[in-house]
Structure 1
Amino acid sequence: MAGHSKFKNIMHRKGAQDKKRSAQFSKLSREITVAAKMGMPDPDMNPRLRLAVNAAKAQSMPKDNIQRAIDKAAQAGGDDYEEVRYEGYGPGGVALIVEALTDNRNRTATNVRTAFSKNGGNLGSEGSVSHGFERLGLIEYPASAGSEDKVLEAAMEAGADDIESSEDGHTIWTAADALHEVSAALEKSLGEAETVKLAWKPNITVEMDESGAGTLVKLVDALDDDDDVQTVWGNYEISDEIMEKLG
C-alpha cells in the first residue's frame, strides 16, 4: 500500500462497509455543496463541481443524492463550510496532510489533534510537512480500462504528465491546473475514471514496518472517521504482506 492509494485501501480494509459507505456519501455531498456554492451550480460551467460529481459517481452515489447536494448550495441559511488543512507527523516520522471541510474550526482542530495524539502522532503547524509534497491532479482507472500501452497512449494524448500502471489499475498524474482538461479528454477515450481529484503526492516515501504500520492505520482510521475530514494523504509505504497481516 503506497502513495495516493493508501486512503482508499485503508477505507476498503475496514469492516462496517455499509456505515463506511454512508459516511463517504456524506463527505462527497459536502464537497459537492461547497463546490456548487463557490461557483455555478452547473457541472459543465464549474470545473470543481464537475470533479466532485465525477468522484461521487465513481463511488456509485445515487443521482438523487448528487442533485440534492447541488440544490442545497442555493438554500438560504444553509451550513457554511470552509476548507482547512492540517499537517503533522505519524508513527515513524511519517508526514500526513489532512484536508477538511468544516463549519466549526475549533471542533475540527480539536478532533484532528486528538486523533494524532492518541495514535502515535503529533499535529504540526501549516506548512510543516507540505513542503515535502507536490500538489497535483490525480486520475485513477481500474485495470479493466485497458492495457498499460493503451492507457499510456491515451494519457499522453490528453496531456498528462505521468502514469503508473500495475495489476490493480492505472494512476495518472497531471498539473493541478490541468486536471479538469485532462480528465475530460481521458473520459472520451477511456470512460469515466474511478478517481478525479487534486492530490498531495510525496517527493519521498517512508517504508513502514509491521509495528509502525499498525499504529499508522489506526491513526488514519481515526482521522477518516471524523465527518469533517475529507481526505488523508501521507508519504508512507506499507507492503501487501503487512497489510494482509493487519487485515
Structure 2
Amino acid sequence: MAGHSKFKNIMHRKGAQDKKRSAMFSKLSREITVAAKMGMADPDMNPRLRLAINAAKAQSMPKDNIQRAIDKASANEGDDYEEVRYEGYGPAGVAIIVEALTDNRNRTATNVRTAFSKNGGNLGASGSVAHGFERLGLIVYPAQGNEVVADADRVLEAALEAGAQDMQSGAEEHEIWTAAEDLHEVANALERTLGEAEAVKLAWKPSLTVDVDEASAQTLFKLVDALDDDDDVQTVWGNYEVSDAVLERLGE
C-alpha cells in the first residue's frame, strides 16, 4: 500500500483525529488519570502510565495537561472509570474491536450498539472477533525525518537488536511489533537508538485482513467515525484494508 500506512488504515484515520484535537486530548487525559489511579503516579514505576504519557506526547499534548491528569489521580479526583471492550462486525464483514473507558456501562453499550446498527454493522458478543487478532506491542516511527529513521534497513537492524518480533515499513511510517510484555523494554532500547517514537501502545493486530471496496469503505468509515466520536471510546481497531485508489476517491 504505497503512500499509505497500514497501521493508520487498520486502526483509524489520523486525519479525522486531528480535526478533533480537544476531544482527543480529553481521551488521552482520561487514560493517563486511570493509569495513574490503577498504579503509581510515577511513570518510571507504572508501565501503563508511561504508555499513556508517550501516547499523549506523540499527539503533542501540552505538558501541563499531562501533569493535571496525573495530579487528578494523585488527589483521587474525577470519576472512576472501568475498561470495557466491545466486538462486532462492520460493512463487508469487517471485524471491529472497540476499547472504552466508562463510568456508565449502560450508556456506553447503548451508544456503541447504536453506532454499529446505524452504519451497516452489528455488535457481537464478547470474544466474537478477538480470536482473529493478536494482542501485541506497537511502536511507530515516521519514515521521514532524521537520517536514521529514513533508512528502513537501519531501523530494522535497530528493531531486531532491541528484541522486536517484526517490522513493516511504508512510505509514511515504520511499524515495529513486539510481544505485549516486551513493549516497554523494546521501546526504551529504540528510543536510545532512534529517538522518541511517534506512538508506543498495545495494539490489536489482525491475523487476516479484508479488502474493502469503495461503497463498503464509505459506510465503514462512517461507522469508525461514529464510534470515535463517542467520549468513552478510546480506540477502534479493524481488520480492513482499503486501497490507495479508493482512499483517494473518498478524499482520505
With normalisation by structure 1, the TM-score equals: 0.95
Q: Distance in 2 between matches of 1:32 and 1:164?
A: 28
In the other structure, the counterpart of 2:198 is 194
Task: State whether structure 2 residue 3 is matched by structure 1 residue 4.
Answer: no
Distance change (3 Å), C-alpha of 1:77 and 1:148 = closer
Equivalent residue, structure 2, for 1:158: 162
Offset of residue 166 of structure 1: 1.3
Which residue in the other structure is 2:81 paired with? 81
Aligned-residue offset at 1:146: 2.9
> What is aligned with 2:34?
34
Equivalent residue number for residue 241 of structure 2: 237
CA offset digits 1:218-246 (Å, max 9, x no partner): 00000000010000000000011111111
1:169 aligned residue (165, 170, 173): 173
Distance 1:5 1:61 in 2: 19
In structure 2, distance between residues paired with 1:155 and 1:226:
35
Deviations 1:62-94 (A, max 9, x none): 000000001111223521011000000000100
- Partners of 2:87 and 2:96 within 8 A in 1: yes
* Rounded Cα–Cα distance in structure 2 between residues aligned with 1:6 and 1:228: 22
8 Å contact kept, 2:159–2:167 = yes
Q: Tell me the equivalent position of 2:134.
A: 134
Partner of 1:115: 115
Cα deviations by residue, 1:88-134 (Å, 9 ceiling, x for unpaired): 00001000000000011000000000000000000000000000000
Q: Distance in 1 between the 2:241 and 2:180 partners?
A: 23
Distance 1:49 1:87 in 2: 25
SS of alignment partner, residue 100 of structure 1: strand
Which of residues 210, 216, 231 is equivalent to 2:214?
210
Report whether the alignment pairs 1:221 with 2:219: no
| Structure 2, gaps ≥5 residues long | none
Separation in 1, partners of 2:11, 2:142: 13
SS at match of 1:73: helix
Tell me if the contact between 1:159 and 1:182 (Cα under 8 Å) persists in the aligned partners: yes
The alignment-based identity, stated in percent, is: 74
How far apart are the structure 2 equivalents of 1:67 and 1:77? 14
- 1:167: how far off? 1.1
Alpha-carbon offset, residue 36 of structure 1: 0.5
RMSD of equivalent CA atoms: 1.4
Q: Give, as a single letter, the amino acid of the residue that structure 2 aligns with 1:4.
A: F
After TM superposition, the runs of 4+ consecutive aligned structure 1 residues lying more than 4 A away are none
Q: Cα deviation per residue 1:42-74 (whole Å; 9 max; x = unaligned)?
A: 111111111110110010000000000011112
CA distance in 2, matches of 1:133, 1:99: 14
Distance 1:9 1:38, change over 3 A: closer
Give the TM-score of the pair, scaled to structure 2.
0.93
Q: Report the AA paired with residue 215 of structure 2.
A: S
